[in-house]
Amino acid sequence: MESSISTWVREAVDRVRVIDMHTHLFPPSFSSLWRSGADHVLTYHYLIAEAIRAGGRSPEWFYGLPLREQAAWVYEQIFARTSPLSEAAMGVVAIAQAFGVDLQQDGIEGLREALQHEPSEPYAERVFQLAGVDQVVMTNDPLDPAERAHWLKGDPVHPRFLAALRLDPFLGDWGALRTCLAAAGVSVSPAADAPDLAEVRRFLKDWIGRMRPVYLAFSAPPEFTYPSKEASGRVLDACILPACRSNGLPLALMIGVRRRVNPRLREAGDASGRANLAAVERLAASNPDVRFLVTVLSREDQHELVVLARKFANVIPFGCWWFVNTDTLTREISALRLELLGPTFVLQHSDARVLEHLVYKWKNARALAVDVLVHKYTKLAEEGWRVTRDEIERVVERLFRGNFLDVVRSV
Ligand code: RAT
Ligand code: ZN
């Protein structure tokens, strides 16, 4: 029985076509935002933080280099001078292997030759096939001028790329939001009063119509609280939640990020902190008609999130985010979720920033799913349950795609 279970799980996990519910990828038509190729793979911000630790140069020196030299320097620190043992470094090795590059022999030049830097639909297709991914959800910020320009020009969005309307500035400081809105041609007063909130609602309606997102989303610091009398609390209650309701869209919350604790590291300078999950509890309780996809950044919050999800069916935990997307912690978190929720969560998302990330992030997610599911199904068989191939396939399908599709379709 044990060997059939292991074969059935492996085969189901190998075969499943993933829906990746959170990435930072863009389609080839959004050319200025497209990221692929060896130099981008090597200058992933996860690796920049590690290379600067190892290499003893300042962030200012590093960011002063052109992209190719940054990549070569990261390669030198992490791959040439030591073993690439971190999660992100091993990811590069896995990408090289998938593209048939012997990194130890061919080095950075071998990787540059095998991976394509320019936007290209056939190349995107090849990477999606290599990773076994069907569709990815982007992170779409209507307040980012570069991104806005692509949408306003009406650049076509390839069907493999789904949109998600990302609203971080709407939950931040009202003054900063005013400045961003003004740059987008929307004028609101310092008061954040009823007419201002009506303007924000109009802006969201406009962008939901243009992007056709599958969900609305924001990331928040550990201090995120609900309800709140601050302008951000009013924006949430009077604009974002009503937009979710009227468009039948879920809201994704990513909580626990402390932005730029080391600003010199730029994108690599964010850290994590413990979230206030009582706020999520109040949000879920006061808005039973909205579904919340929730992920938390600190390891310490994972158990509390799962317990909360047991109490509120409109809370759906998703993925192992950023600093908890590691070999060790993804297994711990996914087993914990299965133990307390059954297969009613979204197993993983990639957070890919560079196209080829899909390859190693989903390879890792598949490996973790095999380990955790073989263990659980073996135990289930020992308890006397006649495990079938069919039920394994259905659970794998739910964890890698079906649960997410149910959330975005059924609200
Ligand atoms: O994982 C990351 O790359 C982070 O920089 C963030 O993008 C995070 O995932 C986010 O979406 O805020
Ligand atoms: Zn992200």
DSSP for 136-189? EE--B-TT-HHHHHHHHHT----TTEE--EE-GGGGS-HHHHHHHHHHTT----
Closest CA to 48 of 22, 86, 105: 86
Atom of ligand 1 nearest to the CA of 353: 3
The Cα–Cα gap between 353 and 344 comes to 27
Closest CA to 69 of 108, 119, 113: 108
Best substitution site from 20, 23, 24 to test ligand 1's pocket, by max atoms within 8 Å of Cβ?
Answer: 24
Residue 23 Cβ < 6 Å to ligand 1: no
Residue located nearest, by CA, to atom 12 of ligand 1: 219
Closest CA to 29 of 145, 159, 137, 133: 159
Residue located nearest, by CA, to atom 3 of ligand 1: 351
The Cα–Cα gap between 13 and 70 comes to 36
Residue located nearest, by CA, to atom 10 of ligand 1: 219
Number of Cβ atoms within 10 Å of the Cβ of 212: 12
Residue ranges, the chain, pLDDT below 50 = 411
Crossing angle of helices 45-55 and 67-75, in 10° steps, is 60
From the CA of 219, the nearest ligand is 1
Ligand 2: distance of its center to the CA of 194 in Å? 32
Closest CA to 333 of 313, 318, 344: 318
Residue 87 Cβ < 6 Å to ligand 1: no
The Cα–Cα gap between 141 and 147 comes to 7
Q: Does residue 71 contact residue 78 with C-beta atoms inside 8 Å? A: no
Ligand 2: distance of its center to the CA of 249 in Å? 19
Residue 323 Cβ < 6 Å to ligand 1: no
Atom of ligand 1 nearest to the CA of 322: 1
Crossing angle of helices 87-98 and 103-114, in 10° steps, is 70
Ligand 2: distance of its center to the CA of 138 in Å? 9
Number of Cβ atoms within 10 Å of the Cβ of 104: 11
Atom of ligand 1 nearest to the CA of 270: 5
Task: Report pLDDT for 411.
Answer: 42
Atom of ligand 1 nearest to the CA of 46: 3
Backbone phi, then psi, for 407, in 5-degree steps? Answer: -65, -45
From the CA of 87, the nearest ligand is 1
Polymer length in residues for the chain: 411
Q: Does residue 346 contact residue 21 with C-beta atoms inside 8 Å? A: yes
Residue 140 Cβ < 6 Å to ligand 1: no
From the CA of 267, the nearest ligand is 1
185 Rama sector, left if φ>0, alpha if ψ -120 to 50, beta otherwise? left
Atom of ligand 1 nearest to the CA of 267: 5
* Whole-Å CA distances, 296 to 40, 87, 160, 221, 280: 27, 19, 27, 10, 11
Determine the Cα angle at 330 with ends 324 and 332, to 5°: 110
Using DSSP, state whether 329 is helix, strand or coil: helix
Closest CA to 23 of 393, 407, 361: 361
Residue 353 Cβ < 6 Å to ligand 1: yes
Is the preceding omega at residue 227 within 30 degrees of 0, hence cis? yes
From the CA of 166, the nearest ligand is 1
